[in-house]
Amino acid sequence: MALKLFHCHEARSMRSLWLINELKLDVDVVLFSFGRALRSDDYLSRHPLGRVPCLEDGELTLFESGAIAEYLCEIYDDGVLWRAPGHKERPEWLQWIHYAETMTVHAANLTQQAIVISDPALRSPTVQKLETRRLGKAIEVLESQLQDRDYLLASGFSAADVGVGYSLHVGRLFTDIEAYPNVAAYYQRLSSREAFKQSLPAMDAEHKIYTQQNYWLTE
Ligand SMILES: N[C@@H](CCC(=O)N[C@@H](CS)C(=O)NCC(=O)O)C(=O)O
């Protein structure tokens, strides 16, 4: 039976979709527009906060993109994207799987400022500057980690790169990652993967969250 993924274009559910595509699993995608549609009683019975992603696998319903990544690897990966308990890279793999959320929280706060709060007068330049700076600091950590390798782990590409790669995909909308050469090359490598491209919305898709090339602060 196919997995079922509840998804909004380029939301954190892209992380789950990209991983499902890397694993070449069958999936039925239930696409929502970002906002009120997520608050139906039907969807709230699956995800109590009405957020994405949410994954159904047979009888199982699971939310939280990090937990979904761990679950998909544990059940469906043949050792390529997962670092199983006991593997020497296991602790580092877990660290980066969850670091992905640390990064995305800044991008999510910036998304709220630049997009969700539609009236510019209600946005906070202080919050925007602070979150942009904190996002930059989080990217600096990747810049250092990637100085001697192509992917986060020494052994190569893993689900941790999918998690962090999504965070960069959105993070780069709020800060110029060309300022970080290792990170820019890393994003280039990740975004040229077929599974990544299959997880993006079509150019003319409706219900996109991000419709501008970027949302960088101008001052
Ligand atoms: N930590 C959660 C965060 C989930 C989350 O906040 N998702 C956002 C999309 S990126 C959402 O559904 N927001 C809808 C809303 O807040 O109304 C995860 O990683 O799955």
The CATH number of the domain holding residue 177 is 1.20.1050.10
Q: Do 62 and 111 share a domain, yes or no?
A: no
- pLDDT tens readout for residues 138-151: 999 999 999 999 99
The binding-site residues of ligand 1, defined as CB within 6 angstroms of any ligand atom, are 11-12, 38, 51-53, 64-66, 101, 108
Burial of 72 (0-12, 13-18, 19+ CB in 10 A): buried
How many domains does the chain contain in total? 2
Q: Do 61 and 106 share a domain, yes or no?
A: no
Count CA atoms closer than 13 A to 23's CA, side-chain side. 27
- pLDDT tens readout for residues 152-177: 999 999 999 999 999 999 999 999 99
pLDDT at 161: 99
Q: Which residue has the tokens 């960088």?
A: 216
Q: What separation in Å is there between the alpha carbon of 112 and the centre of ligand 1?
A: 11
Q: Do 72 and 104 share a domain, yes or no?
A: no
Task: Choose which residue among 9, 33, 51, 97 to substitute to test ligand 1 binding: the one with the highest number of ligand atoms within 8 A of its C-beta.
Answer: 51
Count CA atoms closer than 13 A to 64's CA, side-chain side. 7
Whether residue 65 is contained in a domain is answered as: yes
Mean pLDDT of 90-109: 98
Whether residue 108 is contained in a domain is answered as: yes
Q: Which residues form the domain of 96?
A: 90-198
Q: State the sign of the Cα–Cα–Cα–Cα dihedral 124, 126, 129, 134.
A: negative
